[in-house]
Amino acid sequence: MLHHTLTLVYTENPGAFLSLGVTWPAGVRLAMFTVATGLLLVVACTVLLWSHRGSHVQQIGSALIVGGGVGNLIDRLVHHGCVVDFIHLAIGPVRTGVFNLADVTITGGVLLLVARTCWGRPTSSPPDPSPYGGAPRSHGISG
């Protein structure tokens, strides 16, 4: 497809992003990738829905992460602990592992949050308590 730039291939991945944890025992994968992820998603959804803090970019980034996490969690529940990965990209010499759209939304959300953290609007600094508006001035004789 698209001259081998984008290839669709069906793969069931019992691990996380790029098969992280695929060699772990099944019980550990269940605990980490299904149970712990499910609990974290409940907390993240609650915070996202009830907290009105943060910028729109932070809220969108968080929603993308939660949405992708929910998608992968549903995949794990339906496919006996695996997510279905199906996208493989090859651009020149650069090749990706096989991934899915949930991975794309999670990565996009993380990138938005990192960009907001690194290049967001500067926060206003608190007013300077010094009556001189800068570094304290010396009133004595310096020697």
DSSP 49-101: HH---S-HHHHHHHHHHHHHHHHHHHHHHHTTT-EEEEEEEEETTEE---B-H
The verdict on whether 75 is a catalytic residue reads no
Domain-embedded: residue 62: yes
Domain-embedded: residue 76: yes
Domain-embedded: residue 65: yes
The verdict on whether 128 is a catalytic residue reads no
Active-site residue identified among 15, 62, 73, 85: 85
- CB of 26 within 8 A of CB of 74? no
Q: What is the pLDDT of residues 53-107, one digit of tens each?
A: 778 888 999 999 999 999 999 999 999 999 999 999 999 899 999 999 999 999 9
Domain-embedded: residue 131: no
pTM: 0.77
Domain extent, residue 56, equals: 25-119
Active-site residue identified among 13, 73, 103, 106: 103
